[in-house]
Amino acid sequence: MKYLFAHIPLILLFVYSCSSRPLTYTVASHSFIRADSASFADSAIKAHIMPYREELNATMNEIIGYASATMISDKPEGSLSSLVADIVYEAGIELVGEATNNSSMALVNVRGIRAPLSQGEIKLKNTYEIMPFENRLAAVKLSGNILQEVFNHIVIRSGDGISQATFTMTPQGAEDIKIHKKELNEDQTYWLFTSDFLAEGGDGYLMFSRADTIVLSDDTIRDLIIRYIKKENAAGNMIVPDTVARITVSSYQ
């Protein structure tokens, strides 16, 4: 650690005499201060940024809704990852317009959800903790056989968040896949709503590179979460977890 003298020492000088005696001095007193001491902070800069900090804190502490229970993102599925997938699904329907209830679903990666949603007040800052990334909503149009690969990859990843779909994880891959309670048809075309990160092959979802169409929204996933919570709060509704299982893990090996 570097140190700086707090003040110039008192020095007693004995100047050369005619006999050319050597120069000597005595340090009367001294003290040391750490160079990283808070006393070195520029008070003028702090005063300048304080109003902006206070405004930001006020904005981030705004209460935008309420959660009836604590929700988490987990594998093979969790209440929070399911909620985010549901939010992405609703926004995806609005994005493409043409999706029908029996040929569309949503997928979110559990790894991208970085914090739980605690019971009680939901502040704006909580949405940034949950979704700190700037990932945008993406709509992927793909065939049923590629969608089968997507579900198989979910099995490899031990689960991710899905909406409007159910399936069973087995050692052989994904089985009993249903989209809106209808069996997956490999010859049919589907819309899958997700993040641009996954649509571009993130977390190993490389099969999306063979999709027919990818449509990107200007909205981030976090934007969608904030909008949904505010809408539910305005309607007098709390954010409630969905407890219905979407992913079943096979008990046989």
The pLDDT score that the predictor gives to residue 152 is 98
Asked, for residue 53, whether it belongs to a domain, the answer is: no
Using CA of residue 239, residue 241, residue 244, residue 247, what is the dihedral sign? positive
The CATH number linked to 185 is: 3.90.780.10
Domain that holds residue 79: 63-249
Asked, for residue 120, whether it belongs to a domain, the answer is: yes
Does pLDDT of 18 surpass 90? no
Report the alpha-carbon distance of residue 100 to residue 210 in Å, rounded.
22
Distance of CA 219 to the CA centre of its chain: 14
Asked, for residue 8, whether it belongs to a domain, the answer is: no
Distance of CA 203 to the CA centre of its chain: 15
- H helices of 10-123, in order, are 43-60, 79-96
Beta strands in 92-198 (DSSP E): 104-108, 120-123, 136-143, 161-163, 165-170, 173-179, 182-183, 189-195
pLDDT in tens, 24-37: 455 555 555 555 55
The pLDDT score that the predictor gives to residue 5 is 38
State phi, psi for 125 to the nearest 5 degrees: -65, -25
Asked, for residue 48, whether it belongs to a domain, the answer is: no
Asked, for residue 193, whether it belongs to a domain, the answer is: yes
pLDDT in tens, 151-193: 999 999 999 999 999 999 999 999 999 999 999 999 999 999 9
Computed over every residue of the chain, the mean pLDDT equals: 86
The pLDDT score that the predictor gives to residue 49 is 73
pLDDT in tens, 195-204: 999 999 999 9
- H helices of the chain, in order, are 43-60, 79-96, 124-130, 144-156, 196-199, 221-234
Which residues have C-beta within 8 Å of that of residue 49, sequence separation ≥ 6? Answer: none
Asked, for residue 159, whether it belongs to a domain, the answer is: yes
What domain count does the chain have? 1
The pLDDT score that the predictor gives to residue 55 is 76
- 148-165 in b/e form (b: 16+ CB < 10 A) is bbbbbbbbebebbbbbbb
Asked, for residue 37, whether it belongs to a domain, the answer is: no
Asked, for residue 6, whether it belongs to a domain, the answer is: no
The pLDDT score that the predictor gives to residue 198 is 98
